[in-house]
Each structure stands twice: as C-alpha cells, then as structure tokens.
Amino acid sequence: MSERIYIIGEIGINHNGDLSICKKLIDVASDAGCDAVKFQKRDIDLVYTPEFLDSSRESPWGTTQREQKDGLEFDESQYKEIDAYCKEKGIDWFASAWDLNSQKFLQSFDCKHNKIASAMLIYQDLLEMVAEEGKHTFISTGMSTMDDIQKAVDIFRAKDCPFELMHTVSKYPMNDADANLNVINTLRDKFECNVGYSGHETGIAISTAAAAFNITSLERHITLDRSMYGSDQSASVEPSGLRQLVGAVRKIGMAMGDGVKRIIDDEVPVAENLRQHIL
C-alpha cells in the first residue's frame, strides 16, 4: 500500500487578519480530515521596499500597501492562540517564513514541520536557517529551475535535514493545462526523494489525480467562501470541496495497493461460479 498522504490545508492569508475566520478555517480543515493547517509569516519591512509599502492600494484596512500587508499579519499573542486552538483540535500547524526574522519568530513554537515557499526557494540564507533546525521540511518548487531545486536539496542534505519536494505551479488560479503532473515523477527520479503536490487550480480534479502519482503530501489553499477578499481566495477550496477532496485522496491511497497481481480471497468463489463449465 502507498504511504499515507499528508494533507495540508493552506490557510495562508485567507484569514484576512481575523482570528475568528482563522479558527473557522482550522475547524474546516480538521473536520475534513486534514493532517495540518499552514500559514504564511512575513516581516513586511524586510519583505517589501519602503516605496512599495507607501504605494496606493485600496483594502479593508486603508489606502496603502502597508496598511493592507499589516492587516494580514498575526502577532505573537494571536499565534499563541492559534497554537493552543490547533492543539485542542488535534491538528498540526506550521508556516512558511518569508524572511529570517519570521523564521526566528516561528522557532518559538514547537511545530513539527517547516515550509519553504516557492518564492523563497532561492533564498539561501533562509534555507540554511531552516535546515539547521532539522525539522521535516516541505519545499515547494514553483517558479524554479532544476538547478534552483538542486541547490536547495544540496543545502538540506548537507545539514542532514529531512525534506520532501512539492511540485507546484505558481499561478493563482493555475490553468488546468499547466498542471504537468508528470513533473512529480521527474522530481522523484532526479532527486531521489519523496515528492508532494501543492495545487493552485480551481476545483479538486487535478489534486485528486495527483494522489495517484504516489505523492507523500498534498497542499491546497482553503477558504470559507471563494468570493471573500484576498488574492488567494479564487485558487482555494471551499469546505464542501475540501471534504470531497480529502475523502477521494484517502480512497485513492487505499486503492493504489502494492502492484502485486494476485487473486484475492473474495474472487475465489466468483471464479468457481463463473468458470464452472470449464473447470
């Protein structure tokens, strides 16, 4: 039987800075049978330039990029509440840091996993900091060349840090024709490691299909309603879709089997009945 797929509900910034929405999304992931929820953590003064932060952007929080970015970030007390709530619900949580300060912030929590976002795969200092922790790390590979991925793999192997790659296409939402699920096999063969899939498509068909590629992890953005404010909402799965997806993925994992052709016990009486005229 294939290894059980670790399913991650990517909350990201779909909570819109609202802890009550965040808890509802944790509930959605837990009730659907996800193994974990994931967030994104940024020090906006390190991730963005002053010019960008001062530029215009209309949002529920104000009229500048800074106000919008600030509005989407949880502070330490809010993450402590998230940590306690996830423990209460019996679901893992972790986050992808976009800068060194944010990774240091996350180190204060006892998360099982780390995550390298596709955009950060070429950030060597961050990769080395994460690899030093020695936690199992999911590494998304969107927007990256095979050489970029090789350099990241080399860092994690040099520090003996367990990891798996995640095939990713960084378009929100992704066009179905760009999914290229066969890259899952390409990455597994090239880097001789486990490979997962982080999907940004609409619907659940492609993610369901990915489960038949012997992936070890599956990540999808989740939302309460795709019409909510936010750049990731349109590439997210709503609660009913998430339940369908998790159910399908669990069933596919069970159905893949070990590849050994055999007659199962339940087939024996059927064969005796249907072949009685030739036996």
Q: Give dist(CA 130, CA 135) in Å, integer.
A: 8
Q: Which residue is it, tokens 């993450």?
A: 79
What is the model's pLDDT at position 1?
46
What is the model's pLDDT at position 186?
98
| pLDDT of 233 strictly over 70 | yes
Bridge partners, 168 (sequence order): 198
Question: Looking at residues 260-278, what average pLDDT do you find?
Answer: 97
Q: Give dist(CA 188, CA 179) in Å, integer.
A: 16
Q: Give dist(CA 221, CA 101) in Å, integer.
A: 24
CA proximity to 107, closest of 133, 131, 138, 81 = 133
Bridge partners, 139 (sequence order): 116, 165
Question: What is the per-residue pLDDT across 240-250, written as a single tens digit (0 to 9) for each?
Answer: 999 999 999 99
What is the model's pLDDT at position 2?
59
Q: Give dist(CA 129, CA 124) in Å, integer.
A: 9
Bridge partners, 92 (sequence order): 36
| pLDDT of 109 strictly over 90 | yes
What is the model's pLDDT at position 132?
98
Question: What is the per-residue pLDDT across 175-204, written as a single tens digit (0 to 9) for each?
Answer: 999 999 999 999 999 999 999 999 999 999
What is the model's pLDDT at position 3?
78
CA dihedral 242, 35, 20, 82 (to 10 degrees): -160
Q: Which residue is it, tokens 């950030």?
A: 123
What is the model's pLDDT at position 216?
97
State the pTM of this model. 0.95
Contacts of 153 (CB under 8 A, 6+ apart): 139, 163, 165, 191, 193
Q: Give dist(CA 39, CA 130) in Å, integer.
A: 16
Of all residues in the chain, what percent carry a pLDDT higher than 70? 99
Q: Give dist(CA 220, CA 229) in Å, integer.
A: 18
The domains located in the chain, with CATH, are 6-274 (3.20.20.70)
Question: What is the per-residue pLDDT across 219-229, written as a single tens digit (0 to 9) for each?
Answer: 999 999 999 99
Q: Which residue type sits at 41?
A: K
Contacts of 138 (CB under 8 A, 6+ apart): 8, 113, 114, 115, 116, 163, 164, 166, 196, 198, 217, 219
Bridge partners, 216 (sequence order): none
Q: How far is CA 134 from CA 107, 113, 247, in A?
A: 12, 9, 32
